[in-house]
């Protein structure tokens, strides 16, 4: 009997040699006449252990990692029985990083063959859609409202309320648009789902269609994710052949189609109205709201526009009920959040957990501090538009409102850790520079203010009229915050002001303190 071996095909694993390991293992097995059935999966999200390969044994899966091509020969002897090897990690579920998680949205990621629809079904897939088919649209919407699910893209708007608005809106056709333009540095959860469990996204979109009466869906994926584009295209074709998309969705009388579209390298297209413009074939210029996309969205029609994780969370909500999902979390942040631990961390990866863990627990405990072994100095939460947090704010719980209260945001759940070599004036300058590069150009404060911001920060660092220029940059941030239509101009002040507030010593306010421990 041949042993089933699982090797990730996720971009993050490929980037550290998973393909080379898979090729070498297959070649070695052939040469030594060892029967191996190699299955390519998504990633479990334990990136410091990638390439992490697993073998199915009667006692469950056994993991090995990080595996290099050089390990392949010795590994081949150990693999069939899950036997001893220096790289043996034991059962993946027992690795503390995984054991401490609550995987609802990522339940299958890294376990199943992403393009096997049978695997998907065997691991609980399509139960949510089957439930939705038996419900009236209002009842589906109500279930999502009751779950407390909020937009995981960053804005945190209640998903069910958005769906209800589209359900009640007049206009044909209606659209479901999935925002897969995951441009925030430090985030990769959308990518992991698209590459590791694409059917869960398709199922979520189909449920959204049944709930709102939409007949066409688009997934707008950034061009920096070619593997996601390829996997999603294949998955949509497979789902169509199996009858989960097409004229009769899951045997119902309802039609729904999905098309995959690729972005072209513009960060601002992750902003929902800019994304809609881009899908319409135009420059990604931000639109003023109102009208809301729910009323006049894609091609002027009622449109649900949701992030990948929001949509991918829906099947579990329908399958196991709103209460099951809502029971996780704290305050108004219900359910689980896929938190992405990134940058200078010892244990980087995907950590799905109920809201409420503190930033300190995430960074020091779960991520294990820095990869460089130096003290943690700053943590940027929520992407390039998120605030930098110093150690003194590490007691902030991971929750939408708690982060807002500390002049920050959780955004799409990215946590980027910096050690004590970071120069915060340089980070503040970069935030302005990034805004200048990526501004769509519609609002003057964002288009021009960002360039002026770079110049003013340069003057502060050079010590020119320090006080006057500090006042100027604060005033500029205020203008950006209140004078921009979207979050690019509106939120660039978060990284800039947080750097100024929490790390003034880097802006020439006296000698820089030794690493704040």
Partner 1 sequence: MSASTPWDRKSAQEIIRKHRAMDGAALPILHALQESFGFIHEEAVVLVAEELNLTRAEVHGIVTFYHDFRAEPAGRHVIRLCRAEACQSMGADRLAEYAQAKLGAKWGDTTRDGAVTLEPVFCLGLCACAPSAMIDGRVVGRLDEKRLDALLAKVDGATR
Contact at 8 Å (CB) between 358 and 397? yes
Member of 62, 109, 214, 416 binding partner 1 (CB under 8 A): 416
DSSP run (H or E) holding 147: helix 137-147
Closest CB 479 distance from partner 1, rounded Å: 24
Residue 197 binding partner 1, by CB under 8 A:
no
Q: Which two tokens stand for residue 293?
A: 């996309």
Comparing CA positions, the residue from 378, 387, 380 lying closest to residue 419 is 378
Return the number of the residue (118 or 280) whose C-beta is nearest partner 1: 280
Closest CB 495 distance from partner 1, rounded Å: 9
Residue 51 binding partner 1, by CB under 8 A:
no
x/- letters, 199..238, toward partner 1 (CB under 8 A): ------------------------xxxxx-----------
At residue 158's C-alpha, the angle toward residues 196 and 212, to 5°, is 80
Residue 414 binding partner 1, by CB under 8 A:
yes
CA distance readout (Å), 200 to 121, 212, 348: 10, 18, 24
What are the strands, taking DSSP E only, across 207-256? 216-221
Q: Which residues of 204-241 are buried (b: 16+ CB within 10 A; e: fewer)?
A: bbbbbbbbbbbbbbbbbbbeebeebbebbbebbebbee
Site for partner 1, residues 301 to 330, rule: CB under 8 A? none
CA atoms within a 13 Å half-sphere pointing along the CA-CB vector of 58 = 2
Member of 148, 284, 293, 369 binding partner 1 (CB under 8 A): 284
**DSSP helix/strand/coil, 42:** coil
Contact at 8 Å (CB) between 201 and 42? no
Q: What is the dihedral of CA 467, 470, 474, 479, to 10 degrees?
A: 100
What phi, psi does 41 have (nearest 5°)?
-120, -175
Return the number of the residue (50 or 197) whose C-beta is nearest partner 1: 50
Member of 179, 310, 396, 427 binding partner 1 (CB under 8 A): 427
CA distance readout (Å), 117 to 203, 379, 382: 12, 39, 33
Could you tell me which residues come within 8 angstroms of residue 431 by beta carbon, excluding any fewer than 6 positions away? 384, 385, 492, 495, 496, 499
Contact at 8 Å (CB) between 495 and 184? no
d(CA 14, CA 7): 10
Residue whose entry in the numeric block shows the structure tokens 């604060």: 474
Return the number of the residue (193 or 249) whose C-beta is nearest partner 1: 193
Residue 299 binding partner 1, by CB under 8 A:
yes
x/- letters, 14..43, toward partner 1 (CB under 8 A): xxx---------------------------
Closest CB 225 distance from partner 1, rounded Å: 6
x/- letters, 447..486, toward partner 1 (CB under 8 A): ----------------------------------------
Return the number of the residue (130 or 420) whose C-beta is nearest partner 1: 420
Residue 344 binding partner 1, by CB under 8 A:
yes
Site for partner 1, residues 66 to 125, rule: CB under 8 A? none
Member of 82, 148, 348, 411 binding partner 1 (CB under 8 A): 348
Residue 270 binding partner 1, by CB under 8 A:
no
Site for partner 1, residues 485 to 504, rule: CB under 8 A? none
Return the number of the residue (224 or 401) whose C-beta is nearest partner 1: 224
Member of 6, 48, 64, 503 binding partner 1 (CB under 8 A): 48
Residue 515 binding partner 1, by CB under 8 A:
no
d(CA 6, CA 25): 11
Contact at 8 Å (CB) between 222 and 181? yes
Residue 340 binding partner 1, by CB under 8 A:
yes
Residue 282 binding partner 1, by CB under 8 A:
yes
Closest CB 405 distance from partner 1, rounded Å: 23
R_g over Cα of the chain: 24
Q: Give the binding-site size for partner 1 (rule: CB under 8 A).
A: 61
Residue 7 binding partner 1, by CB under 8 A:
no
Closest CB 190 distance from partner 1, rounded Å: 8
Residue 281 binding partner 1, by CB under 8 A:
yes
Q: Which stretch binds partner 1 (CB under 8 A): 130-138, 402-410, 416-424, 456-464?
A: 416-424
Member of 105, 179, 303, 380 binding partner 1 (CB under 8 A): 380
d(CA 392, CA 376): 11
Chain contacts with partner 1 (rule: CB under 8 A): 11-12, 14-16, 47-48, 50, 182-188, 190-191, 223-227, 261-267, 278-284, 299, 340-345, 348-350, 371, 380, 384, 414, 416-419, 422, 427, 430, 434, 437-438, 440
């Amino acid at each position: 009997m041949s042993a089933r071996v699982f090797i990730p095909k996720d971009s993050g694993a490929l980037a550290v040699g998973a393909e080379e390991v898979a090729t070498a293992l297959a070649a070695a097995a052939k040469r030594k006449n060892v029967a191996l059935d190699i299955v390519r999966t998504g990633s479990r999200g334990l990136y410091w252990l990638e390439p992490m390969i697993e073998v199915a044994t009667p006692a469950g899966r056994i993991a090995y990692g990080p595996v290099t091509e050089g390990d392949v020969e010795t590994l081949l002897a150990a693999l069939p029985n899950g036997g001893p090897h220096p790289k043996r990690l034991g059962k993946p579920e027992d690795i503390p990083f995984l054991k401490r998680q609550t995987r609802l949205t990522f339940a299958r990621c890294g376990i199943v063959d992403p393009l096997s629809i049978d695997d998907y079904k065997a691991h609980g897939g399509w139960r949510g859609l089957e439930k939705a088919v038996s419900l009236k649209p209002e009842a589906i919407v109500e279930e999502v409202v009751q779950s407390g699910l909020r937009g995981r893209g960053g804005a945190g708007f209640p998903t069910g309320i958005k769906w209800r608005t589209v359900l009640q809106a007049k206009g044909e056709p209606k659209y479901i648009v999935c925002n897969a333009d995951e441009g925030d540095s430090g985030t990769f959860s959308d990518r992991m789902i698209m590459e590791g469990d694409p059917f869960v996204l398709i199922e979520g979109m189909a449920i959204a269609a049944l709930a709102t009466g939409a007949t066409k869906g688009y997934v707008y994926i950034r061009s920096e994710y070619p593997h996601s584009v390829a996997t999603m295209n294949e998955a949509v074709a497979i789902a169509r052949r199996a009858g989960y998309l097409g004229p009769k969705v899951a045997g119902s009388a309802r039609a729904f189609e999905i098309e995959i579209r690729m972005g072209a390298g513009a960060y601002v297209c992750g902003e929902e109205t800019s994304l809609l413009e881009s899908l319409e074939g135009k420059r990604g210029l931000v639109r003023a709201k109102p009208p809301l996309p729910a009323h006049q969205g894609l091609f002027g029609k009622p449109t649900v526009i949701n992030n990948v994780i929001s949509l991918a969370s829906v099947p579990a909500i329908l399958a196991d009920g709103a209460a099951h999902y809502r029971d996780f979390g704290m305050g108004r942040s219900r359910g689980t959040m896929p938190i992405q631990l990134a940058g200078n961390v010892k244990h980087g990866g995907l950590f799905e957990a109920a809201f409420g863990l503190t930033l300190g627990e995430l960074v020091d405990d779960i991520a294990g501090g820095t990869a460089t072994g130096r003290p943690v100095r700053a943590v940027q939460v929520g992407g390039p538009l998120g605030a930098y947090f110093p150690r003194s704010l590490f007691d902030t719980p991971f929750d939408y409102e708690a982060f807002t209260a500390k002049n920050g945001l959780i955004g799409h759940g990215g946590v980027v850790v910096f050690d004590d070599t970071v120069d915060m004036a340089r980070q503040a300058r970069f935030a302005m520079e990034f805004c200048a590069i990526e501004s769509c150009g519609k609002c003057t404060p964002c288009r021009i203010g960002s360039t002026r911001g770079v110049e003013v920060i340069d003057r502060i660092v050079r010590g020119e009229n320090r006080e006057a220029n500090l006042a100027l940059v604060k005033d500029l941030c205020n203008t950006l915050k209140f004078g921009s239509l979207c979050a690019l101009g509106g939120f660039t002040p978060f990284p800039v002001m947080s750097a100024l507030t929490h790390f003034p010593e880097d802006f020439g306010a006296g000698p820089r303190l030794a690493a704040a421990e």
